[in-house]
Chains A and B, each alone.
Chain A
Amino acid sequence: MNFPEDVRYTREHEWAREQAGVVTVGITGYATDQLGDVVFVELPEVGRKLEAGKAFGVVEAVKTVSDLYAPLAGEVVEVNGALGDDPAAVNRDPYGAGWMVRIRVAEPQAFAGLLSSTDYAKIVEEQHR
């Protein structure tokens, strides 16, 4: 499985893309494969403060339900409202149209501490074996 190199990753199968102190967050292609067809995404309100590693939302698939975990601490500045009508975008385009929240990160340097594409691929391989 290939993981884009322009984003960083967490062990909880979120990805994060940084731009000028704001990080866009979604779930990885591996996560969507595990979940199956996504039918509902519960996202936080804009303005909510997130703690790193804490649940901030829920993704429901046909067969399973899973929490979403914040990769970094910060404040939610935007959520992907389009997922309300089109949750399947998470499966179709997990790193693009399937994005979930944008967070203004509390500590910009923390982004570099997230996993690289290579490191994440290794973790997936271990979990999948």
Chain B
Amino acid sequence: MEPATVLKRTPFYEFHRAAGARLVDFAGYEMPVRYTGDVREHVAVRTAAGLFDITHMGEFEVRGAGSAEWLDLMVTNHVGGLAVGQALYSPMCRPDGGIVDDLLVYRAAGHHMVVVNAANLAKDFAWLAEHKPPGISLEDKSDATALLAVQGPNAADVLRGHVPDAALELGYYRFTTGALYGVPATISRTGYTGEDGFELYFDPSHATTVWNGLMESGRPHGLELIGLGARDTLRLEMGYMLYGNDIDDTTTPLEAGLGWTVKLAKGEFHGREVMARQKAEGLKRRLVGFQLDGRRVPRHGMRILSAGRSVGAVASGTSSPSLQRPIGMGYVETALAANGTALEIDNGSTPLAARVTARPFYTRGTHHS
């Protein structure tokens, strides 16, 4: 199959090729989906450390007086409550409560950085630009930003001696700036795996220095290269959202179980009215986690049944390497959202027995909270 357009490449592309990665089109980028094997890579992150190229993600810089107040109008979580050096996760919603994207907001000394999903980059930028008041500047820094994630219980050991000591003392969702293998970087204790770890932002011109540095200091700590395949199984074991699968323009944060990111008390924001109403009146449907017996894997879009009746659809599904069983998430009627509820997944041939389970599915992660 020929790509319709020329795919973008990250500055680490040649390293992926040299490592034998299988590369796929992901949000317009030629990205590594797998190096050695999904399960092996997954286990490396749970037990040692893994390196992810996530340069495809988008970074916007927001500057100007009133930036925090404006961002608070755009997202559901409370940007105004951030101290310098702190980050937060938030949905960004439309007035009807639908989710434009889920993103990170970093409060730096002189600006805010907003980190968005690659697939939504253009949409997000347009949405923010359209709602931006004069006096605040919004700049897309994505092409000037390389982004790697080091995740796993050994992540700090991999970086020790190659970042400022203070970076290793950071709490979860805290960040600092400093030298990373001798080059300027933003070092953030964040991730999408449930393990301890760091996300590293730096200028793409330093890509080779940082990559080679990580390869060398990572070797004694079991650092392995991790593709998008394992990134998905890792995040799904934690019940983390994947935009386009679990959340989108038609779902609200409350339905998705992201109520903890919706700060009704902070004042006005896009979608507040809808979310206040949902909170008061209750939800018609909810995103639930479920586990299955056997080995067959639930897939995005499969119908969820209860007593033979269609009650929703699978949002995400995979075979969990840690639990060694299939897991998934999907939207069901609220009456069926209680833990232990028996459901069936219609995979087209056999109905698969599933049971609603609390998230995260995997509870032994090493991330700092």
Interface residues of A (CB under 8 A from B): 33-34, 36-37, 39-40, 42, 58, 60-63, 65, 87, 91
For A61, list chain B residues within 8 Å (CB).
38
Q: A62-B318, A62-B319, A63-B229 are in contact. Are A36 and B295 (CB under 8 A)?
A: no
The 8 closest A-B pairs by CB, nearest first: A40-B295, A39-B319, A62-B38, A37-B39, A36-B38, A37-B38, A62-B319, A60-B297
Q: A40-B295, A40-B296, A40-B297 are in contact. Are A63 and B232 (CB under 8 A)?
A: yes
For A60, list chain B residues within 8 Å (CB).
295-297, 319
B34 within 8 A of A: yes
Bound-state Cα–Cα, A39 to B295, Å: 7
B235 within 8 A of A: no
For B299, list chain A residues within 8 Å (CB).
65
Chain A residue at minimal CB-CB distance from B295: A40
Q: A36-B34, A36-B37, A36-B229 are in contact. Are A62 and B295 (CB under 8 A)?
A: no
Chain A residue at minimal CB-CB distance from B296: A40
B233 within 8 A of A: yes
Indicate if the CB atoms of A87 and B295 lie closer than 8 Å. Answer: yes
B315, chain A: closest CB distance, angstroms: 16
Bound-state Cα–Cα, A125 to B22, Å: 14
For A39, list chain B residues within 8 Å (CB).
295, 297, 319, 326
Bound-state Cα–Cα, A39 to B38, Å: 11
Bound-state Cα–Cα, A33 to B295, Å: 20
Bound-state Cα–Cα, A60 to B352, Å: 14
Interface residues of B (CB under 8 A from A): 22, 33-34, 37-39, 229, 232-233, 294-297, 299, 318-319, 321, 326, 349
- Cβ 8 A contact of B297, one of A33, A34, A65, A91: A65
Bound-state Cα–Cα, A31 to B318, Å: 19
For B233, list chain A residues within 8 Å (CB).
62
For B33, list chain A residues within 8 Å (CB).
63
For B229, list chain A residues within 8 Å (CB).
36, 62-63
B47, chain A: closest CB distance, angstroms: 17
Other contacts beyond A39-B297, A40-B294: 13, CB < 8 A: A33-B22, A34-B22, A36-B229, A37-B39, A40-B296, A58-B349, A60-B297, A62-B319, A63-B33, A63-B38, A63-B229, A63-B232, A65-B297
For B22, list chain A residues within 8 Å (CB).
33-34
Bound-state Cα–Cα, A62 to B229, Å: 8
A5, chain B: closest CB distance, angstroms: 24
For B326, list chain A residues within 8 Å (CB).
39
Chain A residue at minimal CB-CB distance from B326: A39
B362, chain A: closest CB distance, angstroms: 15
Bound-state Cα–Cα, A40 to B33, Å: 20
Chain A residue at minimal CB-CB distance from B228: A63
- Cβ 8 A contact of B37, one of A40, A58, A65, A91: A91
Bound-state Cα–Cα, A39 to B326, Å: 9
For B318, list chain A residues within 8 Å (CB).
62-63
For B297, list chain A residues within 8 Å (CB).
39-40, 60, 62, 65
Chain B residue at minimal CB-CB distance from A85: B295
Bound-state Cα–Cα, A40 to B352, Å: 13
For B349, list chain A residues within 8 Å (CB).
58
A33, chain B: closest CB distance, angstroms: 7
Bound-state Cα–Cα, A45 to B37, Å: 30
B53, chain A: closest CB distance, angstroms: 18
- Cβ 8 A contact of B39, one of A33, A40, A58, A62: A62
For B37, list chain A residues within 8 Å (CB).
36-37, 91
For B34, list chain A residues within 8 Å (CB).
36
Bound-state Cα–Cα, A120 to B299, Å: 31
A32, chain B: closest CB distance, angstroms: 10
B224, chain A: closest CB distance, angstroms: 15
Bound-state Cα–Cα, A91 to B40, Å: 12
For B294, list chain A residues within 8 Å (CB).
40
For A33, list chain B residues within 8 Å (CB).
22
B269, chain A: closest CB distance, angstroms: 36
B345, chain A: closest CB distance, angstroms: 13
Bound-state Cα–Cα, A33 to B20, Å: 11
What are 6 sample pairs from A and B whose C-beta atoms fall under 8 A apart?
A: A34-B22, A39-B297, A39-B319, A40-B295, A62-B321, A63-B232
Q: Which of B232, B296, B349 has the most CB of A within 10 A?
A: B296
For A40, list chain B residues within 8 Å (CB).
294-297, 319
A18, chain B: closest CB distance, angstroms: 30
Bound-state Cα–Cα, A62 to B321, Å: 9
Bound-state Cα–Cα, A60 to B299, Å: 11
Bound-state Cα–Cα, A27 to B252, Å: 43
